[in-house]
Amino acid sequence: MTRVQPESRAFMRCQLVYVNDSQQVQIESLKALIAEHKLPILLETEQSIEKLTQKRRQQLSQISTQPILLLDDKNALSWLSNGLSVAPEWDKLQRRVVSAGRKSELLLQAVKITSDSRVIDATAGFGHDSLILASMGAQVVMLEQQPLMALLLLVEQQRMSKVANWQKLMSRLQIINTDALSYFASVNSSPISESNRAVDVVYLDPMFPEDSYQDSKTGKGAKVGKHMQALHQLALPPTSEEEQQLLQNALAVVGHHEQTSGRVVVKRPQFAPQLAHQPPSECWHNEAVRFDGYFV
């Protein structure tokens, strides 16, 4: 499918801190990814004269006026946010990926996909849910609006594609730096074809206020992990109007070409309100998280 790129986007300046001269190959590879995917990122490199200890990372967080990427001595790329180094780290999800067909995986209960399904993860984030979706054999288009996050995802896909057991899974993922509404518009205006098949599921995990994770009365609920803390530095929760647009356009995508079995699945904290205050067709939940399904 044609890649969607806004005509004009402001460039983001990012500082890349690396630790030794031998990492120039990795740095050039990063620049090549940025150019290939037309990411609006200006990468400014700086070699660290000190070890990247936790104390040093905290210092860098406090003094920098722009996002910081770290390339450590193992050539692992991470984003420094409030002293915390965060990265997709897809290999740490291996157990979930291998056992993703188990009934305990609420996400899969909600999406009900098969090996020939086509899914759009419209709010990719660190890509963890996309991995679970692709582990079922589905083709997953991952949309990520933030260029910095898109770069981290592309680097992680490139890294894991070199691991034999992960190559098939990586081939099912397509990462695109664009906003969901622009991409939905392109899908809805495109004729059906072999390369542009009907979308079976649109998956939404939009940002929500940090106080949505816990019950306001009991204080119970999920704790906010470091990955989510970091995302809150980049993205704001959508407004009510934006939620309405997101849901309506997602439903239009899965209903495109008179498809009758598509669904939109929305991930929410257990105690968060429904997206756009629209009641779902069906709901799956545990003590921490809820998946609301909207069926065509």
Q: Which residues are annotated as a binding site for S-adenosyl-L-methionine?
A: 205
Inter-CA distances, 142 with 113, 219, 263, Å? 16, 33, 17
Which segments of 114-270 does DSSP mark as H helices, in order? 128-134, 147-160, 167-171, 180-188, 226-234, 240-254
Collapsed DSSP state (helix, strand, coil) of residue 71 = strand
Collapsed DSSP state (helix, strand, coil) of residue 110 = helix
Annotated binding residues, written as ranges, equal: 205
Q: Which two tokens stand for residue 48?
A: 């660290």
**CB-hemisphere CA count at 13 Å for 176?**
21
- On whether the CB atoms of residues 267 and 203 are closer than 8 A, the answer is yes
Nearest to 39 by CA among 47, 31, 49, 48: 31
